[in-house]
Amino acid sequence: MTEVIRLPTGRDDTLWAVVASLGRVNRIAEIYPSRLAALADRTWREQQVTAYAGFLQSSRQPLPRYSVAPIRRGDLPKAWKPLPALGFLRGQFF
């Protein structure tokens, strides 16, 4: 056998996470396979927070901040679920 066989390289398990921050608490709001999709989601979430800023301030809730960061598939918490845009989860802020 004189032919060289290429073995497939390992799958890249890097995802892009939209991270919601509220004070010192950080939660993964959503994950995406591409950075562009994560940036688009972050922009949408920031628009939602801006639109509801009056409501959040009147209910004395801090405004969540959003950022985008790479994350490995193995670093996701086992029971992770997407977080709504304003940071509400079952009637509570995260």
Structure tokens at 77: 């918490």
Instruction: Report the alpha-carbon angle 16-43-13, nearest 5.
Output: 5
- For the chain, the structural domain boundaries read 14-73
pLDDT tens per residue across all 94 residues of the chain: 567 777 666 566 789 999 998 888 888 999 999 999 999 999 999 998 888 888 878 878 778 899 999 999 888 888 888 888 776 545 555 5
Tally Cβ neighbours within 10 Å of residue 44: 14
Tally Cβ neighbours within 10 Å of residue 26: 15
Query: What's the predicted TM-score (pTM) here?
Result: 0.76
Helix (H, G, I), strand (E, B) or coil at 51: helix
Task: List for the chain the helix, strand, coil content (%; round to 5).
Answer: 30, 30, 40
